[in-house]
Amino acid sequence: MAFAVTGAWATQVSQTKKFSGVPDFEKTLTFGKVNLCPDCTVNWIKVILALNVNGGQYILDNDADSPASGSFNFGGKVQIIGSDVAMIDAVFNPVVGIVQAGHSGSFNLQANVGDGPGDYSPDPPDGMVYNGGVESDSKEGLINSEVFGQYLGVGTFDVKIQSTQWSTYSGASGIEYAVNPVSADGSLTFIMDYDCIPEPSSIMALFAGIGALGLIRRRKA
């Protein structure tokens, strides 16, 4: 009976803050602490960090005398770089790591043809350009139960996020690259799941009430 009462009271509260801009940028996001009654306990707190990127250009230009091939990544990243509350998981790692939204591709460029250092020529056969499209990624994790108390009470807490461009290539030397930046938007969400269990005296009063109701019904019958 007590579990039925508990289940009926279980609930969640969710908060989401959005951010956007052209990386690199930093934003401070403000969340409300949750003011639970004394007979409530937190089951878990989930954190979700999401990022979308769009646009931009990535240029590779082989200026070496031999062909070059390899792979590249192009997009954006976001991570939490500071907060008023501990944002660690059960093994004390950051609850969400680095979220990387981007495109992974490969390149095969011929030996240098007709250009030199500093011109970042995308013209084939020794150069290429990748035009960025929409890319998304997210990560989620659960907060260490030892620090639930930091999320409770009145007032607010701040979380600082940092978004950066993401462009890398590997597998070749003698290449020069140029970037037109992606634009980015994303969100940070906290979900708190908690149960509120009435005091033992309240449960006894509830049972007493049900008993009295039964008694009344019998009398009416």
Site residues, Ca ion (CB under 5 A):
61, 63, 112, 115, 119, 121, 126
Q: How far is the CB of 179 from Ca ion (least distance, A)?
A: 15
The residue (of 61 and 137) whose beta carbon lies closer to Ca ion is 61
The two structure tokens encoding residue 210: 């049900």
Q: How far is the CB of 167 from Ca ion (least distance, A)?
A: 17
Whichever of 126 and 137 has its CB closer to Ca ion, that residue is 126
Residue 180 CB, nearest distance to Ca ion (Å)?
A: 17
Answer for the pair 166, 51: CB distance below 8 angstroms, yes or no. no
112 or 187: CB nearest Ca ion:
112
Least Cα distance to 28 among 188, 161, 163, 183 occurs for 161
Residues 5 and 206 sit within 8 Å (Cβ to Cβ): yes
Cβ nearer to Ca ion, comparing 119 with 140: 119
Residues 6+ apart with CB under 8 A from 168: 72, 73
Q: Provide, rounded to whole angstroms, the least separation between the CB of residue 175 and Ca ion.
A: 9
Check if the beta carbon of residue 94 is closer than 8 Å to that of residue 85: no
The pair of three-digit structure tokens given for residue 55, joined into one six-digit string: 């646009």
Amino acid at 9: W
